[in-house]
Structure formats: C-alpha cells, structure tokens
Structure 1
Amino acid sequence: MSDVQQRIADLVKSNRVMLFMKGTAQFPMCGFSGRAIQILKAAGATDLKTFNVLEDEEVRQGIKDYANWPTIPQLYIGGEFIGGSDIMMEMYESGELQQALTAA
C-alpha cells in the first residue's frame, strides 16, 4: 500500500464519519460538497470529520483509487465507503443514512 493510500486508510478507520470533500464544512468549495454537508447535518451526523482534498493533491487523486470511485465528495461511515452526494441524498430520503450513522 502506498503512503497516500495508508494515510487515507488511517483517516477512514480512525473517524466514525469521514467526508473527503472540496473545501471545509464551514466553506464548501463545490456544490456537491456543500450538498453533502447539508445532508449529513440534516441526518444528524454529530461527529463528522472532513478532509479538504484541495489542500492535498496526493489525497485528491489517491481517494479516487482508494474506493475505486471517480468523484468527490466521498463519505465513509464506520470505515465503510458509502458514496457521493447523490447516493447520500437517496439514502437520506429512504432513512438509510440515518440508520447507518446510528449503527456506526
């Protein structure tokens, strides 16, 4: 495993709710990342940790390989890859996201 893949794995495993996004929770730098934050807040995510991929080019590229998912944001709950903002919205609307947050 490369250094960047190990860094990503450590972040995912050491944070119950981990969102790799563009910008920060307070200042999202793209619409999808902003939407992801809004969804997580609405779902009651209290211990959300974020990583701004715009500040680290290695992680920005490496996260796409880590989950074999081409886009950002990427959400991980309990160490498991959940998906991007569209999947988060579908899960929120069905109640699955809230269940995943509670179970993790």
Structure 2
Amino acid sequence: IEERCRQLTSRAPVVLFMKGSPAAPRCGFSRKICELLTEQKAPFDILADEEVRQGLKQPTYPQLYADGKLLGGLDIVRELAEEDELLDSIPAAAKAA
C-alpha cells in the first residue's frame, strides 16, 4: 500500500488525497481544502483511490502532496493561503500546466 501511495502521489506535481471528490466532498475538511485551492488558483489532481485511503489510515484527511511529498492537511494549507505562501509551496511544473 505504501509503495502504491508513493506512486499515486507522484503522478502529478500536486495531488490532493481527500474523502469524496471536489464536486461531492464527503466531509467539511475536504470541502474547505478544495475551496482554498480553487480560490488560490492552485492546480491539483485528486487521489480518489478508496483502497489506498483505507489501507493507509492517515490520522486526518484531506492531505495535500506536492512533488510526491506531504505538504499538509487543511490547517497547513489554510495557514499557507492566509500568509500568501500557498502558491510558493506548489511546484512550478504544476503552475505551468
């Protein structure tokens, strides 16, 4: 499961691991992080692999990955957005796409 997650989170420069989808989030935290990313015009792909999500049992979701590494959950993303540092945390390859 860990190797599969590593591959999935590296498939795009920015990947959001969340409950549900942006159109139908399954929790308020997932809804809010999608709103923040959209407001900031931060490009992202969704990791919607329920098997991986269940297998990893992260302490909280959503989780945002940049360049295959965990950037953080809603609190970190919210803080980065409030400090106008969110786009600086996103790889240039994502912004060029």
Using structure 2 for the length normalisation, give the TM-score: 0.84
Where structure 2 has 5 or more consecutive residues not aligned to the other structure, the ranges are: none
State which of 63, 66, 71 in structure 1 corresponds to 2:60: 71
Aligned to 1:40: 37
Identity across matched positions, percent? 35
Q: Residue 50 of structure 1 aligns to which amino acid in structure 2?
A: I
Deviating beyond 6 angstroms after TM superposition, the runs of 4 or more aligned structure 1 residues are none
Aligned to 1:97: 86
Q: Displacement, 1:23? A: 0.4
| 3-state DSSP of counterpart to 1:8 | helix
Higher helix share: 1
Aligned to 1:24: 21
Q: CA RMSD in A?
A: 1.7
1:74 and 1:39 map into 2 onto residues whose CA distance is: 13
State which of 50, 56, 61 in structure 1 corresponds to 2:46: 50
Using structure 1 for the length normalisation, give the TM-score: 0.79
